[in-house]
Amino acid sequence: MNRRYYMGALLAGTAMSSYAMSAFRLKKDQMKNGLGRSSFNEGWRFRLGAAEGAEASAYGDSDWRALDLPHDWAIEGPFDVKYNARCGGLPFHGTGWYRKTFDVPAEAKGNVVSVTFDGAMYNAHVWVNGHFLGSRPYGYSEFQYDLSDHLNYGGANVIAVKLSPEDLSSRWYPGAGIYRNVWLDVRNPVHVAQWGTYVTTPVVSAAQAAVRVETTLVGDGAVEYEIFDPKGRTVAVGADPLLFVEKPKLWDIDSPHLYVLRTTVRVESEVVDQVETRFGIRTLEFLKSGFKLNGRPVRIQGVCLHHDNGPLGAAIYRRADERKLQIMKQMGVNSVRTSHNPPSNELLDLCDELGILVQDEAFDVWLKPKVENGYNKFFAEWGERDIKDMVRRDRNHPSVFMWSIGNEILEQGNAENGNRMAKQLNDYVKAVDSTRPTTCGFNWWPGPYENGMASQIDIAGMNYKPLAYGAPVNEFLPSNPVVGSETSSCTSSRGVYHLPIEKYKTHESKQVTSYDLIGPPWAYPPDVEFDALEKNPEILGEYIWTGFDYLGEPTPYGGKDNSTNGYWNADWPARSSYFGAVDLCGFPKDRFYLYQSQWTQEPMVHVLPHWNWEGAGHETIPVYAYTNCEEVELFVNGKSFGRKVKGKDLTKLLVKFNRYEGDTFMSKYRLSWDVPYSPGSLKVIGYIAGKAVAEKEITTAGVPAKVRLLPDRKKIDADGTDLSYVTVRIEDANGNFCPLADNTVQFKVEGAGTIAAVGNGNAATTAPFIADHRDAFSGLCMLIVKAGKAGGKIEINAASEGLEADQTVLTVR
C-alpha cells in the first residue's frame, strides 16, 4: 500500500488574532475593535476538595487560593507511598474547584462570547453564572463553550470549573487541574467556526503550489483570502478557495518555512471577522520502501514523549516544551510521537517552528481497560468526538504527518472487535483529514497482523519487535509501510555505573546502571534496533521509548506494565521513569550520545564512565566510547590504549529479551576497552580519514569545593511564564566536575522572578519539586526560575555548607 500525501498545513486560527510572520512567535493574546481572543489565565481562585454549591455566582470564595493558570495542583505534592508510584506518587486524584470573576463590557452584547479550554485534567464540569455549560471527561481534549446567553453584560460574571480526577485512571502521571491555557473569544455572529479553516495543497512543485482552503462559517458572509510568505510579503490574494503560490519555500526538517493565511469575512462589505494562520507547504510519501519528505528519503529518528515537564509537572510552559525539543534535536531527533494522547497546542506550534515531524496520538485505550478508571469508561460515548476533535484541531500543522489511533490497545487479540474498531477509528480520522496516514502501536505478535487488524490502518506500528522486521511482518503486510513505533525501552540512571557489568533485573540502590543494557523483559539495548533497521531499510524508522524521563512508571521498579488496578509501590521511593535518554531535568544520560552517534553528522565522541573510582574495589574499568567518527583512540593519563574502528571492533553486550535466542549481542555501534584504573585523565579522540576531529576528556575530581551556576538563558521575557533553567554543578577546587557529589544546595532568588521548581534527575527520591533547596544527584541539580510580569533583574544565589557559593543575575525584559 504505497501512499502519497500532498498537503500544506495551517495552524488553526482565531478571530482577529495576530502571528508574528518573521519570528513565527504565536501571539494569541490580542483583541481589535473589541473583538478577538484574549488570555483567560489570570485571576482565578482554587480550592482542593469538595465545595458544595461552588458553581453558584453568589458562592463565597474569598478564602480560596488566588492563582493564575495553567496550574497543576498535584505537582506540589507531597510525595507519599499512599499514592500510586506508577502515577508518580503524587496526589493527582480527588476534587478540585476553580472560579473566576470577570467583567464583560455592555458593547459585547450581540456578539458571540465563548471560552476555550486547551485541556483540563480531568472530568471537567463547567458553569457560568450558575448555568451548567457541559462536561468533558478526557483531560487531553480541547473544548469550547458559548457563554453568550448566560452573561451579565456590563457587569460581573462568574465561571466555575469542577475537576474530579480518579485514582487508577492513568498508567503514568497525568497531572491535575486546568493545566493548559484558557482563552476568551468575542466574535461577530458571522465568523469562522472553531477549527473552521482547513488547507491542503493538492499539487506541489518547485514552480508552484496549489493551496486549497476549506472554510466553515457560522452565519452567512463573503470570504476573502490573502497569503503571506515567511518574510511577510503578500504572495496570493483572492476570493476563490484555490490559490497559487509561486516558487514555494517548502516546510522541511532543516528549513521549516512557514506561510501565513489571512481569512477575511465580510457582510455587506463590512469586515466582521478575520483569521490569520500559519502554514507550511510540503509533500509526504509513505511507501513500502520508506518515507519521503518533499521527495527526499527521510529515516524517522524519533522519540516518544509524555506530556509532563518533570519538576514543573503537567502545567504547560512554552519554554519548557521548547527546551525539551531543542535538546531532542541536539540528539538528532527529527520526529516525536505524542505518547499516548493529544499534545498541547504549544508543542505542535514549536514542532512547526523547529522542523520536527509529529505522530499525533489519540488514545492509550479503547473499550478494554488497562487500569480500573481509565479512558475506557468514556470511550463508547466520547471516542468518536475526541479523535475527530483532535484531527480538526491539529490537521493544519505542517509538523503533523501521521495520526495514531491507539497504543497497545487490548483489543489486539480479538479479531472481530479489534478489526471493527480499528476500521471505525481509521474512518473517523479520514472523514476529517485524508491527507495523512493512520497508524497504531501494536505490541502483540503476530496477533493483530495475523487476524487482519493491522491491515485496517495505513502504517503498522510495531512496538518492540525488531526481530519481526522484514520477512516475518511482510508475510502479513506485503504492501503496507511499517514503523518501529516504540523501541528499545532501555533504562538507566544518569551518572550511575554498577560494576561488574551484569544483566540484572533490579538493583538495591533503586538506580540503574548507565552502561545501557538493562531493561524489562520486552526491552533491548538501542544497538539491537540499530542493527535491525540497518538490515531492513524499508522500515520507516523508530520512536525510542523515551526521549525524556517522565513522572510515573518507574520500570524496572515497582510493578508490571498494563496491570489492571496495579499499584507500583513495592520499590518506593522509585516513582518516575528511567527510560529516557535524558533525565527528568533535561540532563543527558550516556544513551543520549549513543543515539547522537547514529543520528548526527557533526563529528562527536563520548566516553564513559566517570573517572572517580578510588576505593571502589575495581582494579579494571570497562570504558565505552560512542562516536560517529571512523576511529577512536583512548588515552589514560596521556598513555594510549590504542585505536579502535567503528563497525569493525565489536563490543559484547549482555542481552536477553522476549523471543531473542542467546544472551549476548555483538555491537558494532560501541567501542570498548578494559582499562586498569589510575586516577587522572580519561580522554578519547575521534578520527575521520586519519585526522583528529573530536575529543572528550574526563578528569578525576577531588573533594567538592564549590557550587557553579550555569543558566541556559540569561535574558528572559517578562510575561509571567518564561523560564531560565539554571544548571547547578558541584566542582572541586580546580573546577573539575564532581560526578559523585550529593551536596544539598540552598537557593535564594530575589527581584523580577521566582523559583518555579527544583530537581536533580533522581528517579527515587521524595524530595519536593516546589522548594528552595535540592540535593545534587551524580554531581548536578537544577533550579528553574520563572519571570514575573515586570522588567528588571533576578539575582540568584546558591550556597552549600562547606562549599564556595555562586551567584548569577538574569535580565527580565
- Domain limits, the chain: 3-35+190-283, 42-180, 299-599, 605-699, 706-812
- Helices H / strands E in the chain, number of each: 8, 49
How far, in Å, CA of 206 to CA of 31, rounded?
Answer: 38
401 in Cβ contact with 359 (< 8 Å): yes
Q: Return the closest-CA partner of residue 143 out of 386, 305, 336, 403.
A: 386
pLDDT of residue 32: 57
Element (H or E) spanning 235, and its range?
A: strand 234-238
When the pLDDT of each residue in the chain is averaged and rounded to a whole number, the result is 94
Q: Return the closest-CA partner of residue 436 out of 382, 473, 478, 390.
A: 390
- Judge whether residue 13 has pLDDT over 50: no
pLDDT of 443-478, one tens digit each?
A: 999 999 999 999 999 999 999 999 999 999 999 999
CB count within 10 Å of CB 135 equals: 13
| Mean predicted confidence (pLDDT) in 179-194 | 97
**Percent of the chain residues topping a pLDDT of 70:** 95
pLDDT of 279-331, one tens digit each?
A: 999 999 999 999 999 999 999 999 999 999 999 999 999 999 999 999 999 99
How far, in Å, CA of 299 to CA of 623, rounded?
Answer: 30
Q: Provide long-range contacts, Cβ within 8 A and 24+ apart, for 610-615.
A: 610/495, 610/497, 610/698, 610/739, 610/740, 611/679, 611/680, 611/681, 611/682, 611/698, 611/699, 611/700, 612/679, 612/700, 612/701, 612/738, 612/739, 612/740, 613/677, 613/679, 614/679, 614/700
DSSP output for 630-683:
SEEEEEETTEEEEEEETTTS-EEEE---TT--SSEEEESS-EEEEEE--SSEEE
| Spatial CB neighbours of 16, under 8 Å, sequence gap ≥ 6 | 30, 31, 32, 33, 35, 36, 37, 273, 274, 275
**pLDDT-derived band of residue 267, with 50, 70 and 90 as boundaries?**
very high
**pLDDT-derived band of residue 560, with 50, 70 and 90 as boundaries?**
confident
Strand, helix or coil at 345?
A: helix
DSSP 118: S
CATH fold of 299-599 reads TIM Barrel (3.20.20)
DSSP bridge partners of 580: none
pLDDT of residue 409: 96
DSSP output for 512-543:
--TTS-B--TT---HHHHHHHHHH-TTS-EEE
| Spatial CB neighbours of 326, under 8 Å, sequence gap ≥ 6 | 354
Beta strand pairing call for 182-187 and 35-39:
antiparallel
Lookup: cell for 164: 474530579
CATH fold of 706-812 reads Immunoglobulin-like (2.60.40)
- Fold: same for 299-599 and 605-699: no
Q: Return the closest-CA partner of residue 397 out of 120, 4, 36, 13.
A: 13
How far, in Å, CA of 131 to CA of 535, rounded?
Answer: 62
| Mean predicted confidence (pLDDT) in 770-799 | 98
Residue 127 phi, psi (nearest 5): -130, 150
| 526-535 vs 590-599: helix crossing angle, rounded to 10 | 10
How far, in Å, CA of 335 to CA of 293, rounded?
Answer: 12
**CA 212, 215, 220: angle at the middle one, nearest 5?**
140
Architecture per CATH, domain 42-180, reads as: Sandwich (2.60)
Q: Is the dihedral of CA 462, 464, 470, 471 positive or negative?
A: negative
- Please give the single-letter amino acid code of residue 170: S
Q: Is 94 left (phi over 0), alpha (psi -120 to 50) or beta?
A: left
Residues marked active site are found at 408, 486
CATH number of 605-699: 2.60.40.10
pLDDT of residue 4: 42
pLDDT of residue 707: 98
Prior bond to 340 cis, omega within 30?
yes
- Judge whether residue 147 has pLDDT over 90: yes
- Given CATH 2.60.40.10, say whether it is the number of domain 3-35+190-283: yes
Lookup: cell for 758: 527544583
DSSP 249: P
- Judge whether residue 535 has pLDDT over 80: yes
Beta strand pairing call for 182-187 and 155-163:
unpaired
